[in-house]
Structure 1
Amino acid sequence: MSAQVREKGVVVAIDGPSGAGKSTITKLLAARLGYINIDTGAMFRSVALMAKRRHIDPDDDVSLAELCRALDISFLRNGEGYRVIVDGEDVSRAIRTEEISLLTSRISARKPVRAALLELQRRMGAQGGVILEGRDIGTVVFPDAEVKFFLSASAEERGRRRYLELVARGENVTLEETVAKVVRRDKQDAEREHAPLRCADDALSIDSTALSIEEVLQIMEATVRERVSRQEVVGH
């Protein structure tokens, strides 16, 4: 890990497969630490949503690059959470559908999209005091992050969580098809050409299949606070 001392704290990277609970954990951990939550997954989902609306082929790199350059993506605090704003529109719910999830996996694998968002993500997190979650934060976006986690769970458990979430929203889905989509998303993420999903060599791997949210949070919070203490010593 990097020995540098950032102005506002450490950079925390949380990677892992779809449905592992990264978004929920990141939001809660950021609130406990007083850190900024940069949801990189929401950024890619936003690009996917706008590509769909503008009928852009997910394999059309030129059009995708132009789209990324034109989009204004930002996060607006909302209590302990946040809203995702794209070109002035709140797309927080629109980017969370199953259709956009699958499209995001394809679009996020395109090199121009990753390059455009990579620069923005690094700029947002350079001073520290941030938590970023995604699939390649600790391996590509911030390989020098002071704290790295790889949060996972069995495909069956992740599918079950996603199923309950969708049912609560009133969507007509089955547990079997939801688990199948999780498995398909895993395959896409692991086999994509650019920045495939993998656990960084220096990441702390956490399997949340049998753990509660609070148990995962306690592990992560203790790890981050211990690293912050070491950074403060270095800073002095």
Structure 2
Amino acid sequence: MKKINIAIDGPASSGKSTVAKILANDYGFIYTDTGAMYRSVTLMAICSDVAFDDEQGLVSLINNHKISFRQTNQGQLVYIDHVNVTEKIRQPEVTNNVSEVAAHEQVRRKLVEKQQEIASNSGVVMDGRDIGTAVLPNAEVKIFLVASVEERAERRFKENQSKGIPTDFQTLKKEIEHRDQLDSTRKISPLKQANDAIRLDTTGMSIQQVVMNIKKIVDEKVAKSIN
């Protein structure tokens, strides 16, 4: 199909990454997990003993290390330099501090440059919290996924269980609510729906149902652009 850019935004555990991966695979597009990039910077800060409020220190980490993605039979893997950090960036210590790292203007500017470079040739599915508003404001399709806090906590709980990460459900709910508050109130590129984005509430929906709904939107957009 015609190569377009698809931007998928939404709060934590709204299903962005899972849906984006499926769409990219089905359409033959490049998948870019922007959240994994911010998580990678957070992990580097932890490993390098750089404070989460040290903006210049975080920028130095970005400048001195390479964050990359590799598509494999096991799915997309995330690397810092040549080290596979796919599982490490999903640990609670990273999850609970990534919003603070992502709130820094210079950190966002550096990573947005890298994200826009990836999308420069179109044919990209990119998910995050400010893709439709800041990273890819001209994306042909913009989707804003939402779901209840209860359902998002349940999804994260099951995901953590499958990976052997010890988790308390009630604690997860509080952490997700806290991340929502941080992400939506930060001064730089806060989490919000783009004016031309289509809002899709995934509460009670299966992943395949969400994918089918988005594909219908994408196909309609492509058909209109061709006509």
| TM-score normalised by the chain length of structure 1 | 0.92
The residue aligned with 1:23 is: 17
Residue 10 (1) aligns with residue 1 (2): no
State the aligned residue count: 227
Question: Superposed, which structure 2 residues align to 1:127-206 within 5 Å?
Answer: 127-206=121-200
For residues 128-180 of structure 1, the C-alpha deviation after alignment (integer angstroms, 9 at most, x for no partner) is 10000000000000111110000110001100111111122223222111111
The residue aligned with 2:71 is: 77
The residue aligned with 2:38 is: 44
What's the secondary structure of 1:128's corresponding residue? coil
- Give the deviation of 1:80 after TM superposition: 7.0
Distance in 1 between residues matched to 2:166 and 2:55, nearest whole Å: 34
Distance in 2 between residues matched to 1:181 and 1:61, nearest whole Å: 23
Instruction: Among all aligned residue pairs of Structure 1 and Structure 2, give the percentage whose two residues are the same amino acid.
Output: 39
The residue aligned with 1:114 is: 108
Distance in 2 between residues matched to 1:100 and 1:162, nearest whole Å: 14
The residue aligned with 1:4 is: none
What's the secondary structure of 2:79's corresponding residue? strand
Q: Is the 8 A contact 2:14 2:146 kept in 1?
A: yes
Q: Is the 8 A contact 1:9 1:228 kept in 2?
A: no
Q: Is the 8 A contact 1:31 1:80 kept in 2?
A: no
Distance in 1 between residues matched to 2:57 and 2:132, nearest whole Å: 28
RMSD: 1.4
- Give the deviation of 1:50 after TM superposition: 0.4
Distance in 1 between residues matched to 2:183 and 2:54, nearest whole Å: 19
What's the secondary structure of 1:210's corresponding residue? coil
What's the secondary structure of 2:144's corresponding residue? strand
Q: Is the 8 A contact 2:68 2:80 kept in 1?
A: yes
**Aligned letter for 1:165?**
E
Distance in 2 between residues matched to 1:20 and 1:83, nearest whole Å: 21
Which of 61, 86, 94 is the equivalent residue of 2:55?
61
Residue 89 (1) aligns with residue 83 (2): yes
What's the secondary structure of 2:118's corresponding residue? helix
Distance in 2 between residues matched to 1:126 and 1:227, nearest whole Å: 19
Q: Is the 8 A contact 2:91 2:165 kept in 1?
A: no
Distance in 2 between residues matched to 1:64 and 1:44, nearest whole Å: 10
Distance in 1 between residues matched to 2:166 and 2:28, nearest whole Å: 37
Q: Is the 8 A contact 1:109 1:192 kept in 2?
A: yes
Q: Is the 8 A contact 2:154 2:169 kept in 1?
A: yes
- Give the deviation of 1:225 after TM superposition: 2.0
**Aligned letter for 1:213?**
I
Distance in 2 between residues matched to 1:172 and 1:88, nearest whole Å: 28
What's the secondary structure of 1:119's corresponding residue? helix
Distance in 1 between residues matched to 2:64 and 2:222, nearest whole Å: 37
- Give the deviation of 1:34 after TM superposition: 0.9
Q: Is the 8 A contact 1:40 1:121 kept in 2?
A: yes
